[in-house]
Structure 1
Amino acid sequence: MAFKHLFKAKLGWDSTPIRYQKSHQIAIEGKENLNVSAAKAFKGDPALLNPEDLMLSAVVSCHMMSYLYVCSQNGIEVISYQDNAEADLEVLHDGSGRITAIRLYPKVVIRQIDKMEEAMHLHKKANELCFIANSCNFPIFHFPSCEVV
């Protein structure tokens, strides 16, 4: 049996007489508003988040949470988790485009030396469980590393 959850976001934007501004706000009830713009390459405000930042952030965040979940299910104590993720955006001549790939570089520190190999392999399981990864139509590559303290 599948459980369904509804998420809502309210977007607000107003035009200016000079030209269309790319900056806008997204409100999610009970949370701080997000100030968003287009990426700098698309004449947006480089100081603000953009949809591409948010897509990459959603993937890297969801993978980490899924990974921590599968580690806890397998008795692996994760001490720290860091990632320097990257996304490739391809823009075509007609102005359309899409993210073509995301690369995750999770660096995990665990406590048990005998669980190191399993900790490395659990990134695959985490990707299979990740809600966001399961919603993407592009490949997500994983280049994990693991250390023991």
Structure 2
Amino acid sequence: MGILHSYRAAVTWTGAGTAGTASYTSYSRDHEIVLAGKPPLLGSADPAFRGDPTRYNPEELLVAALSQCHLLWFLHLAANAGVVVLGYHDDASGTMRVAAAGAGQFTEVVLRPQLTVQGEVSEQSIAELHARAGEHCFITRSVNFPVRVEQGTISRV
């Protein structure tokens, strides 16, 4: 058995107003996410589900978590392989399907990393590092939908 790590998040609903959940439209979806020692994240539902578009929603945070996890593993593996990465930008996106009854799930997330690397590094080497990052990313390994990487541009300096 491997080493266990624990994570905690305190989530407090702040949108009760004066009526609470008296009806589907009577309450705000606003909430606050607090992680020890960090500034709070202001959360809500996606605007399609009556949420505040100026706040983070769980669906976009899931896409961001997958992108972050891939980034961190890619950088780790690149450093171990002697590949010097000077820049990394990802335009990640996720697709979620909602059924008629209201339940839904993600069908895929696509990562589109664009890199700046030092020296001559083959696209094949970069692709292999992305594949290995996907195999190691804790979040990717925990979801039940595909997380694809569309290798973006690679700038060399």
TM-score of the pair, normalised by structure 1? 0.95
Q: What does residue range 73-84 of structure 1 map to in structure 2 within 5 Å?
A: 73-84=80-91
Runs of 4+ aligned residues of structure 1 deviating over 3 Å after TM superposition are: none
Cα 1:114–1:49 shift into 2, 3 Å: closer
How large is the RMSD of aligned CA atoms in angstroms? 1.2
Cα 1:114–1:97 shift into 2, 3 Å: closer
- Structure 2 CA distance for aligned equivalents of residues 83 and 28 of structure 1: 25
Cα 1:29–1:114 shift into 2, 3 Å: closer
Sequence identity percentage: 32
Cα 1:114–1:86 shift into 2, 3 Å: closer
1:112 corresponds to 2:113: no
1:3 corresponds to 2:7: no
Q: Which residue of 2 aligns with 1:131?
A: 138
Of 89, 109, 118, the residue aligned with 1:102 is: 109
- Structure 2 CA distance for aligned equivalents of residues 70 and 26 of structure 1: 31
Of 31, 44, 47, the residue aligned with 1:24 is: 31
1:40 corresponds to 2:51: no
- Structure 2 CA distance for aligned equivalents of residues 63 and 22 of structure 1: 30
Of 90, 95, 100, the residue aligned with 2:97 is: 90
Cα 1:96–1:110 shift into 2, 3 Å: same
Deviation at 1:81, TM superposition (A): 0.4
* Between 6-15 and 70-79, the greater mean CA deviation after superposition: 6-15
TM-score of the pair, normalised by structure 2? 0.90
Deviation at 1:29, TM superposition (A): 1.0
Deviation at 1:28, TM superposition (A): 1.0
- Structure 1 CA distance for aligned equivalents of residues 120 and 75 of structure 2: 17
Alignment check: 8 A CA contact 1:39 1:45 kept: yes
Alignment check: 8 A CA contact 1:77 1:111 kept: yes
The one-letter code of the counterpart of 1:24 is H
SS of match in other structure, 2:60: helix
The one-letter code of the counterpart of 1:93 is A
